[in-house]
Every structure is written in structure tokens, then in C-alpha cells.
Amino acid sequence: MKYILVTGGVISGIGKGIIASSIGTILKSCGLRVTAIKIDPYINIDAGTFSPYEHGEVFVLNDGGEVDLDLGNYERFLDISLYKDNNITTGKIYQHVINKERHGDYLGKTVQVVPHITDAVQEWVMNQAKVPVDDDRKEPQIYPTSLFQLGGTIGDIEGMPFVEAFRQFQFKAKRDNFCNIHVSLVPQPNATGEQKTKPTQNSVRALRGLGLSPDLIVCRSAKPIEMAVKEKISMFCHVEPEQVIFIHDVSSTYRVPILLEEQGIIKYFKQRLNLPIDDQPSDLLMKWKKMADRYERLLKVCSIALVGKYTKLSDCYASVFKALEHSALAINHKLDLMYIDSIDLERSTEVENPVKYHQAWQKLCKADGILVPGGFGIRGTEGKLQAISWARTKKKPFLGVCLGMQLAVVEFARNCLNWKDANSTEFDPDTKNPVVIDMPEHNPGDMGGTMRLGKRRTVFKTQNSVLRKLYGNEMFVEERHRHRYEVNPELICSFEEKGLKFVGHDMEGNRMEIIELENHPYFVGVQFHPEFSSRPMKPSPPYLGLLLAATGTLSAYLQRGCKLSPR
């Protein structure tokens, strides 16, 4: 087993997750099996109770784990399926150790950070590294793990136990099996225009002071870094020049594995970790290169309006953005994603800030398609309902995900069934027409980990379904869920009589999973989150359908048997 540790310095949010994912992609392209573990030093047990503004979206795994969005990067880049134990937090580790102490496993010893917490980290990492994550379920050989996403920098007090754990672990694993990659920032102040190496020097010094020496230093920068800067970092950070890798800002993250490969990272890993691989990249990396080249040559544009409540930070909808981007790339279009705060579409905004109100509606009106993603809470729901009504009446392609589907049902009930007070019991527990209700078994009082989570099967009720055709005419699909409310199954007949068809449900036939509106180019809602399963070379069918409808090519695509036209 080989181990690669990715640490970060200077600032958080520097791109450690993308670097780790890209390194994994390169190693996978060399024929190795790769898994990934993310270590977060916060005390939360998992990411499930975070506001999206804290750490971006909550990514959901097949087993129902609510984890950091970096695990989404790992899955998309490596095309693997991870587990909740692939996301380690301080909370999980301390809970594990405290439970062992209560059970009497430490036989009267004083339980301390060293050795008990650090040993627990090492044990967890070694055990989880052996868990198969590929479709054929074979044990992986090497894994990248990204340490310190929260705070994200060496020297954070909350991350110290993990650094100490890996300081010990490097000797346990032996030199040929352990490698440390340190990701740092090379800033370029506007005042001088000079690329500064001092932050990286200080960061590496701090890392060494804690007992870890970087084997590779990956320098992030806005612009390509000059050779003189590389030599300076090499000299002051005590590494060879070829151990300093530069990754500047690029047009798409698909380009990052290519930049790493061009700087000789395959050859370095082959020597440093004694890997049985060729120096040359395989077909998989060539596919990535072609995909990155094609992305940069796209000329036609498709605009999608994302109507949500967390629009100030793009990471809040990271998987949604990626799923749309994968689909746009598949049909040779550049994605123009317009974020619209749903509150800006509401009448109250027209009174308080008419300029913002009209700008939001202008964006919505000129979009080729409309997407309402998942979310929680009543804030902004009236604006989402307005956007859904616009999409339905103006025949604009529409996709509603999770809450987006539930609100599409509410909007249809109010405006087509004339149930004016129709609502979700999440927002109005006393409504006379509860078209969306809570699931009692998933609402026990505690917030964390109590929703209907993870991969569940959805069965198609009819052959005459656009989404079924997009999924390749399968009898059922398995997608990931994260919700506590569902469409009221007792009211289904009233909707179907008016043309809103529930074409997919769960195995028991009680929970409604997919809606489609008759006589509309593309009006689809799904209770699940298909964005979590989208991959760069395997776009998610509901998102692909939205992009095809938005570009006016859905009918032709379905007539061709769901095959894309030759590029």
C-alpha cells in the first residue's frame, strides 16, 4: 500500500482538493487503483448540519454519508464511489476514542491525544485505504488524501493531532510507501507585480518544524510562475527544482491533471514510491487532454438560470454546476450559468429594491433553461415559485431538484388545481392542502443524519417518459437522496388528471420520485439529487435533458436513440 498526504499552507481554499483529485487521476491513468480520504479538523461529526455558506455544499454518498464537497471532486475525477468513513473529522475520531474508553478498551490507562487520538487516526486511515471504491470492488493500491480543508493551513491548532499522527505514520509506512505533497500560494501583489516566495518558505518551515518534509511543493498562482521563482523556492525549501510544481489559474479544472503530467509528476512518483508504472500517460489521460482542449474551443453558449437561496458563494452549488458543465460539454456548448437569488424575484424586493428585482427578472427571462435546486427553509420559496410558474407558462425548459420538484408540485396545485393555499408542511404546518408532507420516520427531532439519505431505487411507472428514455429505457434508476419531506401520495390523482404525471416512484410505490408535465418541451422534477452521480465523461441524464431542451436538440437526441451527434 502506498500513501500520499496532501497538506496546505498560506491560505485555505487554495485548491488542495483539485490537486489531490488530479494526482489521483494521473495515478489511475497509469493503471493503479486509487481511493481518497478527506480529513477535516472541525468537531462536527459530519457536514450534514452545516450552512452551505460555511464550507460549500454538503455532498451525499451512496451510503448516505453527508460529507465535505472535496469528496465530490474525488468521485468526479476518479470515477469512484466513496463511503462516509472516507471523510474523517475531529468529531468522529474523538467520538470513536471516547466510546472505546467507555467500553473499557484502554484498561485503565489515561486517554490522551498522544498516543490514543493519533493512533486512532492512523488506524482509521489504514483500514479505510483498503476498502474497494471501484465498480469491480478490488482493493486499491494507492490513495491521495487531503488534510486540513477547514482552516486549510499547516499550523492551525485544531489540525495538530492529525499532523502528529502523520508524522508518526511516515515511519510506520516506510519511506518508499509515504509521500507528502504541500500545496502553497505564490502571491503576486499588484503594487510590484513580483511573484513572492516568502509565504511558501514560511509554510514549508512550519511543516518541517512539525516533523513532515514535503516531497513535492505545488505552488498555486494567478499567472504562470517564472523559472527564477522555481529555483528560489527549490533553494530555500531544500528540494530539487523538479520537486517544485506550478499550477496557475486555468480555464477549467480539467486542465490541472495535464499541467501536473507535463511537469514530470509520473516520472517522480515512479522513482519516489517505486511504482510499477510507465513514464508515459495512458489513454485515460489523453481523453482528459482532449476534453480540456475541447472545453477551451467551445463557441456556442447555453445559458441556464439557477434560482436558489445560496447564490453568493458558487461552492454552495458545486455539484449542480459540475453536472451542468458536464452536460454542456457533452453537447459541445459552453455553459453560461446565471445565479439568481430567489428573494430578488419576490414582490417584496420590487418594493424595497426595484433595480435588483428587474435585473433578476431580466436574467430569468433571457435564460435558455431554468433550474431550481435543493434547499431547506421558507426563505426565498415564493421567488422560486415565481420562477417555476414562468417556466411552466412560457414553455421554458425546467428542472427541479429535491425542493425544486416539491415547489413545482406546490405551484401546479395553486395555479392549475386552484388550491390557493396549497403548501408544504415544512413552510405551513396548518395548510388545508398539504401537497408536500414530512416523513415521520425521518423527522425524529435530531437534525444530523436523520433524513432519507443515500442511494435509493426509483422505478419508472410508464414507458412514455422523457427521463426514462434519457436513462436508456431502464426499468429503474438508483440515485442519491437527501430530504425530509415528500409529495403527498394521497393527492396524486388530482395532479395527473390535469397533466402533471408522476412517472417514477420508490420500490413500494408510495414515494413520488419523478414528475413530468405533458405538452411542455421539458418540465421535469426529481426528488433525488442526480448531480452527485454526474461525471465529466458520463453526464447526469436529467441535467443532460435540460441542456438538450435548452438548446432545442432534445427531440432530435431522443429520435436518434439517445445518441449524441458526432463531434
Which helix (H) or strand (E) is 268 found in, with range?
helix 265-272
Residue 542 has pLDDT above 60, yes or no: yes
A 10 A CB-CB count for 314 gives 15
Asked if 237 is an active-site residue, the reply is no
Question: In this predicted model, what pLDDT tens digit does every residue of 501-531 receive, in sequence order?
Answer: 999 998 888 889 999 999 999 999 999 999 9
Average pLDDT over residues 257-282: 85
The Cα–Cα gap between 22 and 24 comes to 5
Tell me which residue has cell 494567478.
Answer: 222
Looking at residue 343, what is its pLDDT?
93
* Helices and strands (H and E) in the chain: how many: 20, 21
Looking at residue 186, what is its pLDDT?
92
A 10 A CB-CB count for 271 gives 10
Question: In this predicted model, what pLDDT tens digit does every residue of 21-37 receive, in sequence order?
Answer: 999 899 888 888 888 99
Give me the DSSP letters along 378-396.
STTHHHHHHHHHHHHHTT-
Q: Are 384 and 404 in contact (CB under 8 A)?
A: yes
Where would I find the H helices in 273-369? 283-297, 318-330, 347-352, 354-366
Three-state DSSP class for residue 55: helix
The Cα–Cα gap between 233 and 259 comes to 19
**57, 164, 325, 531: which is the annotated catalytic residue?**
531
Instruction: State the helix-helix crossing angle for 160-173 and 118-129, rounded to 10 degrees.
Output: 60
> Would you state the cell numbers that stand for residue 455, as one nine-digit string?
442511494
**402, 411, 426, 513: which is the annotated catalytic residue?**
402
Closest CA to 18 of 60, 70, 75: 70
The Cα–Cα gap between 269 and 247 comes to 18
Three-state DSSP class for residue 453: strand
Domains and CATH numbers, the chain: 2-293 (3.40.50.300), 299-441+449-560 (3.40.50.880)
Question: In this predicted model, what pLDDT tens digit does every residue of 450-507 receive, in sequence order?
Answer: 788 899 999 999 888 999 999 998 999 999 999 889 999 998 999 999 989 999 998 8
Looking at residue 358, what is its pLDDT?
94
Q: Are 397 and 549 in contact (CB under 8 A)?
A: yes
The Cα–Cα gap between 66 and 316 comes to 14
Tell me which residue has cell 518508499.
Answer: 176
Average pLDDT over residues 306-318: 89
pTM > 0.85: yes or no: yes
Rg (alpha carbons) of the chain, rounded to whole number: 25
Tell me which residue has cell 453537447.
Answer: 331
Q: What is the 3-state secondary structure (H, E, C) of 477-492?
A: EEEEEEECEEECHHHH
Question: In this predicted model, what pLDDT tens digit does every residue of 51-91 receive, in sequence order?
Answer: 788 878 899 999 999 998 889 999 999 899 999 999 999 99
Residue 284 has pLDDT above 90, yes or no: no
Q: Are 134 and 29 in contact (CB under 8 A)?
A: no
Instruction: State the helix-helix crossing angle for 318-330 and 70-78, rounded to 10 degrees.
Output: 20
User: How high does pLDDT run on average in the chain?
Assistant: 88
Residue 313 has pLDDT above 90, yes or no: no
The Cα–Cα gap between 349 and 346 comes to 6
Looking at residue 152, what is its pLDDT?
60
Where would I find the H helices in 58-185? 70-78, 90-103, 118-129, 160-173
Which segments within 377-451 are labelled E, that is strand?
A: 398-401, 423-424, 434-438
Residue 541 has pLDDT above 80, yes or no: yes
Question: In this predicted model, what pLDDT tens digit does every residue of 121-178 receive, in sequence order?
Answer: 999 999 998 888 887 766 665 554 443 444 367 888 888 999 999 999 999 988 988 9
The Cα–Cα gap between 371 and 401 comes to 8
Tell me which residue has cell 434519457.
Answer: 470
CA dihedral 394, 400, 404, 406 (to 10 degrees): 90
Asked if 531 is an active-site residue, the reply is yes
Looking at residue 145, what is its pLDDT?
41
> Would you state the cell numbers that stand for residue 65, as one nine-digit string?
454519508
Tell me which residue has cell 408542511.
Answer: 425
Closest CA to 169 of 201, 145, 151: 145
Looking at residue 148, what is its pLDDT?
43
Q: Are 184 and 247 in contact (CB under 8 A)?
A: no
Q: How many residues appear in the chain?
A: 567
pLDDT band at 93, cuts 50/70/90? Answer: very high
The Cα–Cα gap between 68 and 71 comes to 6
Strands across the sheet with 142-147, in order? 87-89, 37-40, 142-147, 2-8, 178-185, 216-221, 244-248
The Cα–Cα gap between 532 and 480 comes to 7
> Would you state the cell numbers that stand for residue 554, as one nine-digit string?
432534445
pLDDT band at 447, cuts 50/70/90? Answer: low
Question: In this predicted model, what pLDDT tens digit does every residue of 367-407 receive, in sequence order?
Answer: 999 999 988 888 989 999 999 999 999 999 999 999 999 99
Which helix (H) or strand (E) is 257 found in, with range?
helix 256-262
Closest CA to 217 of 236, 189, 195: 236
Asked if 416 is an active-site residue, the reply is no
The Cα–Cα gap between 398 and 550 comes to 9
Question: In this predicted model, what pLDDT tens digit does every residue of 170-224 receive, in sequence order?
Answer: 999 889 889 999 999 999 888 888 888 999 999 999 999 999 999 999 999 989 8
